Amino acid sequence: MEEAIIEEKADFENIEILSDFANNFLNEIKMPEQQKQEFLMAIDEAITNIVTYAYEEGKQNNIKIILSQKNGHAVAELIDSGKKFDPSKFPEPNLD
């Protein structure tokens, strides 16, 4: 199993650093381009949500990303110490 770890401050200026790290890992494991783009979109969205919503202004902490390949699949773990998202506090989205 191949694994890569990065930890950076949860700040907008570090989104590109974290995204590039994930992209480089996916290139190393030779993920097909279409799957890679979808995987990166999900990671970028998660990182952006952490940076935008998890911390109060001026109280950012770190985001740790652990990327691995298990049984032929890429796995991403994003770890932060920010506020937890509670989906029960929001109405169901209208998907129509």
As beta bridge partners, residue 4 has: 67
Output the pTM of the full model. Answer: 0.84
Question: Helix 33-49 and helix 15-28: axis angle, to 10°?
Answer: 150
Q: Is the pLDDT of residue 95 over 90?
A: no
Instruction: Give the whole-angstrom CA distance, residue 96 versus residue 21.
Output: 36
pLDDT digits (tens, 9 = 90+) for 8-63: 999 999 999 999 999 999 999 999 999 999 999 999 999 999 998 888 877 779 99
Confidence of residue 1 (pLDDT cuts 50, 70, 90): low
Q: What is the pLDDT of residue 44?
A: 95
Q: Give 96 or 11, the one with higher predicted confidence.
A: 11
6 has which bridge partners? 65
